[in-house]
């Protein structure tokens, strides 16, 4: 019985390229991206005006729901822009990365760098939209409002936006990982202790099998892997839409 | 005591207090728990009053819960840093 909680493994490191490291999360993200691309290819094969296949109905349902989300949270004028595919891709990547932990690999979203990357992209989009709607002068002036003394506070709250998005997603996924690891360790110790009470060689053999690990972790996995993954992906996307919609103004 | 023993003692004290700090810091999870329970209770009340608003209420409730959770997540991050990447122990590595 040993509980091991660590960051992502480093698979490859090239010191010549300025200390470049290829971590486990990058490789798993590539795999998730590949699976998503193949899924999109499969769902949109042989599309017809009147859907005859189930997969086209599924694809249309996905696109319509993302469009509905964007319409609700950002406004109707964003439905025909590039934000719909962006939000859809963000949702699919986030959910796919978190769910990949079902297959026994380390979820890329339990690495802070992965989520921080997405949050930085969102932050750039927010700033771009603010500058586009108010001009660069209006953007800089917005930091001194309502009074000039508030400038440091406004700067901090500007930086806090991507950071809180990152920590929310990362914290939720990684807390699931930590709790699952602790429960596995605890159940192994429990079965070792209880079955070790059986006298003789039988007890010695049985206590090596962590028999109590059967059952309970599956229920937890249902919550942490499926519900929490979709929830966090949804929340990340909703916050993105709200911030960008707010930044773009009317 | 020689220097090495002092260093080990200092590290032990820092590690133990860090673990204590991580545990105390996670009491920051109480606030979001109470707040989210309150939000969910109110949402259920509204759902009982207007069952046709169920969809919107559920979405908004989860959104609010996620935002209210932020402070709890911050204390979790602090606890994780204190346990797995303690910056304070580094002061005694000379």
| pLDDT of res. A222 | 84
Which tens digit of pLDDT belongs to each residue from B20-63?
A: 999 999 998 899 999 999 999 999 999 999 999 888 888 888 88
| pLDDT of res. A224 | 83
With an 8 Å Cβ cutoff, are A171 and B84 in contact?
no
Of the two residues A5 and A102, the one the predictor is more confident about is A102
Is A55 in the B-facing interface, judged by CB distances under 8 Å? Answer: no
Which tens digit of pLDDT belongs to each residue from A91-140?
A: 999 999 999 888 878 889 988 889 999 999 999 999 999 999 888 898 88
| pLDDT of res. A28 | 92
> Among A118, A74, A72, which residue's Cα sits nearest to residue A94?
A118
Tokens of B2: 């020689």
A4 belongs to a structural domain = no
The domain total for chain B is 1
State which residue of chain B sits closest to A238, comparing Cα positions: B63
Q: How many residues does this entry show for chain A?
A: 250
Q: What is the ipTM of this complex?
A: 0.76
A3 belongs to a structural domain = no
The domain total for chain A is 1
Q: Which of A1-5, A227-231, A243-247 has the lowest mean pLDDT?
A: A1-5
CATH of the domain at B88: 1.20.20.10
With an 8 Å Cβ cutoff, are A167 and B80 in contact?
no
> What is the mean pLDDT of the segment spanning A239-250?
86
B34 belongs to a structural domain = yes
| pLDDT of res. B94 | 58
Is A71 in the B-facing interface, judged by CB distances under 8 Å? Answer: no
* Phi-psi region at A50: left, alpha or beta (left = phi > 0; alpha = psi -120 to 50): beta
* pLDDT band at residue A250 using 50, 70 and 90 as cut-offs: low
A49 pLDDT more than 70: yes
| pLDDT of res. A51 | 81
Q: What percent of chain A has pLDDT over 70?
A: 98
The minimum CA-CA distance between A198 and chain B, rounded to whole Å, is 36
The contacts of residue B87 (CB under 8 Å, 6+ apart) are: B81
Task: Name the residue range of residue A212's domain.
Answer: 10-248
A5 belongs to a structural domain = no
The minimum CA-CA distance between B76 and chain A, rounded to whole Å, is 7
Task: Name the residue range of residue B74's domain.
Answer: 28-92
B7 belongs to a structural domain = no
Helix (H) or strand (E) holding A123: helix A112-141
Alpha helices, DSSP H, located in A144-223? 151-195, 200-206, 216-221
B79 belongs to a structural domain = yes
B61 belongs to a structural domain = yes
Q: Which chain B residues are closer than 8 Å to A5 by Cβ? A: 84
* pLDDT band at residue A203 using 50, 70 and 90 as cut-offs: confident
Mutation target vs B (from A166, A171, A179, A235; most B CBs, 10 A cutoff): A171
């Amino acid at each position: 019985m040993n509980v091991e909680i660590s960051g992502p493994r480093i698979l490859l490191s090239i010191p010549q390229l300025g200390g470049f490291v290829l971590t486990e999360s990058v490789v798993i993200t590539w795999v998730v991206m590949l699976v998503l691309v193949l899924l999109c290819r499969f769902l949109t094969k042989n599309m017809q005006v009147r859907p005859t296949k189930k997969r086209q109905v599924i694809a249309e349902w996905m696109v319509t729901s993302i469009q509905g989300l964007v319409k609700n949270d950002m406004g109707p004028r964003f439905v025909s822009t590039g934000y719909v595919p962006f939000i859809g891709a963000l949702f699919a990547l986030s959910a796919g990365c978190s769910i990949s932990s079902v297959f026994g690999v380390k979820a890329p979203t339990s690495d802070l760098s992965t989520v921080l990357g997405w949050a930085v992209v969102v932050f750039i989009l927010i700033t771009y939209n603010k500058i586009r709607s108010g001009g660069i002068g209006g953007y800089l002036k917005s930091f001194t409002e309502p009074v000039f003394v508030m400038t440091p506070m406004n700067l901090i709250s500007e930086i806090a936006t991507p950071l809180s998005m990152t920590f929310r997603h990362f914290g939720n996924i990684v807390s699931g990982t930590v709790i699952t690891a602790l429960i596995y360790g605890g159940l192994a110790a429990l079965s070792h202790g209880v079955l070790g009470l059986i006298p003789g060689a039988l007890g010695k053999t049985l206590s090596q099998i962590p028999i109590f690990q059967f059952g309970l972790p599956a229920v937890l996995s249902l919550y942490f892997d499926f519900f929490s993954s979709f929830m966090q992906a949804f929340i990340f996307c909703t916050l993105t839409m709200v911030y960008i919609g707010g930044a773009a103004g009317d | 005591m020689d220097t090495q023993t002092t260093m080990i003692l200092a590290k032990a004290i820092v590690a133990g207090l860090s673990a204590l700090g991580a545990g105390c810091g996670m009491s920051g999870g109480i606030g979001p728990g109470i707040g989210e329970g309150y939000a969910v209770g109110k949402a259920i009340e509204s759902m009982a009053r207007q069952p046709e608003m169920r969809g919107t209420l559920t979405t908004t409730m989860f959104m609010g819960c996620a935002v209210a959770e932020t402070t709890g997540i911050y204390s979790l991050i602090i606890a994780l840093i204190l346990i797995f990447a303690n910056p304070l122990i580094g002061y005694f590595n000379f």
